Amino acid sequence: MILLMMMICLVGISSSSSSSGGATQDQQVVDQISALPGQPPVTFSQFSGYITVNKTHGRALFYWFIEATTHSEKKPLVLWLNGGPGCSSIAYGASEEIGPFRINKTGSSLYLNKYSWNKEANILFLESPAGVGFSYTNTSSDLLDSGDERTAQDALIFMIRWISRFPQYKYRDFYISGESYAGHYVPQLAKKIHDYNKASSKPFINLKGFIVGNAVTDNYHDNIGTVTFWWSHSMISDRTYHSILSLCNFTLPNYSSSCNDAINYAINQEFGNIDQYSIYTPTCTVVSNNETQSVRLKNTLLHRRRYGYDPCTENYAEKYYNRPEVQRAMHANSTGIPYKWTACSDVLIKNWTDSQFSMLPTYRELIAAGLRIWVFSGDTDSVVPVTATRFSLNHLNLTVKTRWYPWNSGGQVGGWTEVYEGLTFATVRGAGHEVPLFQPKRGFTLFRSFLAGEELPKS
């Protein structure tokens, strides 16, 4: 399926009564979280539970909804999706990026995130598709034939039923956000909602736009841009760079053995032991049973290590969310899923069946529809690097509205940006693959500007 799958990553049973898409206030009460184990005091409300998206197959998606810290009734609704495909938005987005809490090293308690995005919006985290995190299916074959199309359709059904459960968010300004392979999920869901609204006499999902970071976008241009990043950042030799470009035909879904050999040589012999998601920061030195892994991420060229950044923060999430008292507090795993909660599902990524070759046609359609669209890139990520995104977006041939300039955050250059007719592109200086993890203040400035519909601040 298009690009070499690598390690980015950056599965249940019967449904419970909270799995239905009911529209009653009672279900909100059932889903409300009183407090999480080890949680500091907060003023905002939290909810979590299941929405059934396919009753016949028994597919139910798990969500965690966190209302804004102030004036939640006036602030927009934002859905966050992580990629993989097969990785958890609770493990990454909620717990180490944009959520209100961080997990301590023992996995026993939480502390507050100063730059949580729920200061500006009501944030909805979704574990998608079925098989990711606490989301499940009663039909085991669903885990072997997941793909882009079903993921988008199930997410649409989820949003329709979730808003029916939380009717106070009908007609509220709604945005979709995410990163990595969510470069597919986010625009694909935006198109599903856009098409659904066009066919509806009175649409209640008030989609305004989306923002996506370090996003898998176009297989051919992403791959050329990725190899260019490796070479331009001295990760590979001149010889290997030219070897990959001469041996690999990135227009094909599958590569020759000589192409694979050239890429594997670069990764195994020339990269060294670096964090491929943040090439200038330390790696996690904690020994774990999950330390090595052969899975590759869909539509990227790299092998994945199991670690995010603290650099060991992913390990803390796996400790915390496998605690029975945490699962009870979150109304998760009520049916006794016979496996541990993990940040990513190897089964899904190994068996992904359909992957759109290029998202550029979808971008063109959604730009024409007038949605607010922002794309950003942490500039120290070598998995879906800034060069990959720039090569891909350049082929939209958009008209420049505001020329390239450095934007400001906290008195420093936060990155660089260019505004086009219909799309804003921004880099985040010093950020890896998970921008809000590596540069939380700059990521928060970016998000706040996006919601306000304003260009990023100039120095």
Residue 334 backbone dihedrals phi, psi, to 5 degrees: -70, -15
**Measured distance CA(41)–CA(208) in Å, rounded:** 33
How does DSSP classify residue 89?
A: T
Sheet of strand 46-54: strand arrangement? 32-33, 46-54, 59-66, 122-127, 77-81, 173-179, 206-213, 372-378, 423-428, 412-420, 400-409
**Measured distance CA(64)–CA(429) in Å, rounded:** 30
**DSSP secondary structure, 254-323, as one string:** S--HHHHHHHHHIIIIIS-S--TTSTTSPPP----TTS----B-TT-SSB--S--SSSSHHHHHHHHHTS
Collapsing DSSP to helix, strand or coil, 235 comes out as coil
Residue type, 414: G
**Measured distance CA(157)–CA(25) in Å, rounded:** 20
From residue 233, alpha-carbon distances to 78, 242, 263, 376, 387 in Å are 35, 15, 16, 19, 11
Give the pairing of strands 77-81 and 59-66: unpaired
Q: What share of the chain is helix, strand, coil (3-state, %, to 5)?
A: 35, 20, 45
CB atoms within 10 A of CB 346: 17
For residue 158 the two structure tokens come to 């989820």
Return the closest-CA partner of residue 195 out of 210, 180, 185, 205. 205
Active site residues: 180, 381, 433
**Measured distance CA(113)–CA(110) in Å, rounded:** 9
Residue 224 backbone dihedrals phi, psi, to 5 degrees: -60, -45
- Burial class for 214, CB neighbours closer than 10 Å (0-12, 13-18, 19+): buried
- Do 111 and 40 touch, CB atoms closer than 8 A? yes
Q: Which helix (DSSP H) or strand (DSSP E) does residue 373 occupy?
A: strand 372-378
